Structure 1
């Protein structure tokens, strides 16, 4: 994997951690997630006007990804209702690289070299270490269940979009339509929260829409990278967002211990290097 692709994925990981922190610190996480989805719709809606259509066969994957994203948003909102960012996030993201690598091997025949699997394992270990004390103290059944459900949804849409973007003929078009179809997610949340939307302070609207822009940018970078690297390797590098989330949790939210998180960061850096040099 080239250094430029690694940098692109790590940039996406940082952006992903930022928008998750925005959601976690929101007073009403469901409404904020709806605004995040609406941010996708606004940008994607403009892009689809000017970009060519992706290939017909890729639209099946765009629609399937939209359905899975709906489940992802639901699981994520419920997980943050029951657990801290530094607990939910490592569980949800920690199971993803192995699952994506497994689905990619079964569905598209991508077989990672042994060194890449070692890198994935090292990153997974770093993910768990980043919040080891919180995980040891016990994770509520609800938080655990929704976090695992979130991770499962992530693994499914990661593979679906990885296949779809390669069939699309145009990464930007695939990205734009995937973002625009968040209109169903935003519409569902808007309908459920219609009685409170008008009363939302401008700051909440701004944060939610900003989160949408950050989220969309992060996933666009990942989609681009999936054209040039194995899906499992991309997923593993993307999950370094956990250490960024852990640092945000420590520095801004007062969650956790910096020494343990520094150790986790070192482990993840080793894992990134192993994957990056695995070809």
Structure 2
């Protein structure tokens, strides 16, 4: 498998595969993001998800793929720090604002920051048409947040705090996207990086934060349903994060990041098809603009 991936890096086939991987990640990310909202505390949900994918990845990392070399272990330290910061900011945003407002702000800020970061680190360049597509996609996602905000009743201070954390989270999303792309390109075997990414990211911090928080609750949720949610989230996380990281090894980091941010379109489609949610003309129009922005980026290169 790794030999085939190496053989298509930088080729037209690699570009097509990267596009499919990024879109797969977008679909899974819509499901993954929804799991962090709901009746459970976001800190507890995140901890349950992390320990689930960490435990599932550990035997694969130890016995299936080659162990990381010293250089890759150093990269993993950065993975731990950046992703811990991301999860902290994401949880802080979710505890202050509605998912339907916070999530689009995070995803809307990410593409522009990522394209800029990929230009600095990898020397990638976007054409004027691609920048226009990125701006259209980001503006439409942020427009979705504004539209969803109409139905929320929160005080100004709480709203500003939630939006501030959401913007910071979007910046860190771009940071980890570029950093992870650098790491997976540095690794001789991409699957070694992916397997140890889930181990390091999953078992080192947030499960222990969640456990401590759960023990201190006056009325903690039952661990069974919480862990069931965690296992499901862990499985989705593999499909959410692995494909886009492989896509950044095969092709442009910026283009992969933009395609991943079509996840709100998939989220709306899932809600409409399976949950019978009403989309409405405004949301449908914004979804169309998000999709159009992604198409422009792909065709404008």
Shared fold by TM > 0.5? Answer: yes
Partner in structure 2 of residue 214 of structure 1: 236
Partners in 2 of 1:252 and 1:195 — Cα distance? 35
1:163 equivalent in alignment to 2:182: yes
Structure 2: gaps spanning 5 or more residues: 1-11
Partners in 2 of 1:249 and 1:193 — Cα distance? 31
Partner in structure 2 of residue 270 of structure 1: 292
Shift of 1:229: 1.8
Aligned runs of 1:226-241 on 2, under 5 Å?
226-241=248-263
In the alignment, is the contact (CA less than 8 A) between 2:54 and 2:203 conserved in 1? yes
In the alignment, is the contact (CA less than 8 A) between 1:55 and 1:167 conserved in 2? no
Shift of 1:93: 1.0
Shift of 1:256: 7.8
Shift of 1:249: 6.3
In the alignment, is the contact (CA less than 8 A) between 1:19 and 1:214 conserved in 2? yes
Aligned runs of 1:1-279 on 2, under 5 Å?
2-49=15-62, 50-135=64-149, 140-181=159-200, 182-193=202-213, 195=215, 200-247=222-269, 257-279=279-301
In the alignment, is the contact (CA less than 8 A) between 2:17 and 2:247 conserved in 1? no
Post-superposition CA distance 1:15-57 (Å, at most 9, x none) = 1111111111132211110011112211220211121024432
Shift of 1:167: 0.5
In the alignment, is the contact (CA less than 8 A) between 1:16 and 1:215 conserved in 2? yes
Partners in 2 of 1:76 and 1:259 — Cα distance? 29
Partners in 1 of 2:207 and 2:223 — Cα distance? 19
What is the DSSP-based 3-state SS (H/G/I as helix, E as strand, rest coil) of the residue aligned with 2:205?
helix
What is the DSSP-based 3-state SS (H/G/I as helix, E as strand, rest coil) of the residue aligned with 1:226?
helix
1:35/1:228 Cα in 2 relative to 1: closer, same or farther (>3 Å)?
same
Choose 1 or 2 for highest CA Rg.
Answer: 2
Structure 1: gaps spanning 5 or more residues: none
Shift of 1:250: 6.9
Q: TM-score, normalised by structure 2?
A: 0.84
What is the DSSP-based 3-state SS (H/G/I as helix, E as strand, rest coil) of the residue aligned with 2:297?
helix
1:162/1:271 Cα in 2 relative to 1: closer, same or farther (>3 Å)?
same
Partners in 1 of 2:22 and 2:101 — Cα distance? 23
Moved more, 54-63 or 22-31: 54-63
Q: TM-score, normalised by structure 1?
A: 0.90
Shift of 1:63: 1.8
1:190/1:144 Cα in 2 relative to 1: closer, same or farther (>3 Å)?
closer
Aligned length: 279
1:72/1:61 Cα in 2 relative to 1: closer, same or farther (>3 Å)?
same
Shift of 1:217: 2.0
